[in-house]
């Protein structure tokens, strides 16, 4: 298989559920199809395949009959990964051309440009290496089941981690940060990673209702409390949500933990759409939205018929994420029109 397709098959191995390499020559790998979700009744079903054909990867599902090459498959499940693939593919083709043109000169090493430099946060001793990604957990793990119940797509679960003993893990990073307790509980970890791949903080959610739901810990106080900073494209329209989980349902989004309407850490704010929880009775949220409008930012003001609290609730109520983006776009306001719509929205009826 060509180098680029093989590289991205390796990346997918930690992102797709029940991924198993069956053979290397020709390459064959099996996984649960993220397009159709495979079987909802039997979580052991894995009917998606990566098959090598004429030195390229073909992705096929025996359940939904979806058929893609690696390029179109990545575009379907992760637009940022697709963009990286396009660059790497062009680089590989360019190298082949250079090798052909200079075949009588001293040969270059074709893998030099393709060798990946490991992100800084993955270096030896990184806090994230001490815990597992959600995508690496067994299908019947309680954290995995929790995300499935919230309908969080398998294609984005690689962004989230599971800390089985949260206080112990935090104290291994910042000694004495949290009290040592006998009943150390697990939490869902949503890491804050910058464009250089450096971990600078994280948001942690409890699985139980009898403890503080969210905890945010910063390792670098000069950085904004922002999730998905490493993946967002500020050069096109992007969404700014209140919570990391809500951002996972949108195609190009960041989440600002404790968002207060300030744009610290954001770029090209003319492309930003702030999406707050749909709570007109919540004075704090109303104030945040008003601050954004005062600064000239675009704000989503949900129509009154939407009685759900946030984006995840909309998904749980059966709204397709693609339709959610359309709802947001159709209800985005700015300036005076935003203030007039806001005055209507916050009226308690």
Identify the CA nearest to 91 among candidates 64, 124, 66, 114: 114
Q: How far is 165 from 167, CA to CA, in rounded Å?
A: 6
In the numeric block, the tokens 């060798």 are attached to 115
The phi and psi torsions of 206 (rounded to 5 degrees) equal -75, 150
**287-299: per-residue pLDDT in tens?**
999 999 999 999 9
**List of domains in the chain:** 3-116 (3.90.580), 119-223 (3.90.980), 231-349 (3.40.1360.10)
Which element (helix H / strand E) includes 22?
A: strand 20-24
Residue 115 has pLDDT above 70, yes or no: no
Per-residue pLDDT tens for 28-82?
999 999 888 888 788 888 999 999 888 899 998 888 888 889 998 998 888 888 8
**Who contacts 64 (Cβ-Cβ below 8 Å, separation ≥6)?**
33, 35, 36
Pick from 40-44, 175-179, 180-184, 239-243: least confident: 40-44
Is residue 95 within 8 A of residue 113, CB to CB? The reply is yes
- Give the whole-angstrom CA distance, residue 326 versus residue 45: 33
Residue 249 CA neighbour count, 13 Å, CB half: 27
**How much is the pLDDT for 258?**
63
Average per-residue pLDDT for the chain: 84
Would you tell me how many other CB atoms lie within 10 Å of the CB of residue 9? 20
Specify the pTM.
Answer: 0.64
Element (H, E) at 4: helix 3-12
What pLDDT score does 54 carry? 83
Predicted confidence at residue 260, as pLDDT, reads 57
Enumerate residues 6+ apart whose C-beta is below 8 A from 149: none
Residue identified by tokens 């490493």 is 230
- Residue 117 token pair: 């430099």
> Averaged over 98-109, what is the pLDDT?
45
Residues 6+ apart with CB under 8 A from 345: 280, 301, 302, 304
Neighbours of 327 (CB within 10 A): 16
Q: Rounded CA gap, 251 and 118, in Å?
A: 25
With 50 as the cut, is the pLDDT of residue 348 above it? yes
* Predicted pLDDT at 306: 66
pLDDT at 204 over 60: yes
Measured in residues, the chain has a length of: 349
* pLDDT one-digit tens code per residue, 259-278: 555 678 899 999 999 999 99
CB atoms closer than 10 angstroms to residue 168: 14
């Amino acid at each position: 298989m060509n180098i680029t397709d093989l590289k991205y098959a390796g990346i997918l191995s930690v992102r797709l559920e029940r991924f198993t390499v069956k053979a290397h020559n020709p390459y064959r790998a099996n996984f649960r199809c993220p397009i159709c979700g495979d079987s909802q009744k039997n979580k052991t079903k894995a009917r998606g395949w990566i098959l090598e054909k004429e030195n390229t990867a073909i992705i096929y599902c025996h359940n939904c009959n979806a058929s893609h090459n690696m390029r179109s498959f990545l575009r379907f499940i992760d637009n940022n990964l697709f963009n990286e693939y396009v660059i790497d593919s062009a680089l590989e083709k360019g190298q082949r051309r250079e090798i052909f043109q200079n075949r009588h000169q001293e040969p270059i090493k074709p893998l030099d440009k393709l060798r990946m430099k490991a992100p800084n946060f993955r270096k030896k001793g990184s806090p994230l290496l001490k815990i597992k990604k959600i995508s690496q957990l067994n299908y019947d793990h309680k954290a995995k089941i929790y995300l499935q119940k919230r309908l969080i797509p398998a294609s984005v679960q690689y962004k989230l981690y599971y800390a089985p003993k949260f206080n112990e893990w935090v104290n291994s990073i910042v000694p004495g940060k949290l009290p040592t307790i006998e009943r150390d509980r697990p939490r869902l970890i949503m890491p804050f990673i910058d464009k250089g791949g450096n971990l600078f903080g994280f948001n942690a959610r409890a699985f139980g209702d009898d403890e503080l739901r969210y905890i945010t810990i910063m390792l670098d106080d000069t950085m904004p409390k922002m999730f998905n900073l490493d993946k967002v494209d500020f050069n096109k329209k992007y969404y700014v949500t209140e919570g990391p989980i809500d951002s996972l349902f949108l195609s190009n989004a960041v989440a600002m933990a404790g968002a207060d309407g300030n744009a610290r850490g954001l770029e090209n704010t003319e492309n930003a759409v702030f999406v707050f929880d749909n709570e007109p009775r919540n004075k704090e949220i109303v104030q945040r939205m008003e601050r954004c409008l005062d600064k000239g930012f675009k704000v989503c003001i949900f129509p009154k018929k939407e009685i759900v609290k946030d984006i995840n609730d909309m998904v749980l109520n059966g709204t397709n994420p693609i339709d959610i983006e359309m709802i947001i776009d159709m209800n985005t306001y700015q300036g005076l029109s935003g203030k007039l719509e806001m005055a209507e929205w916050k009226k308690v009826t």
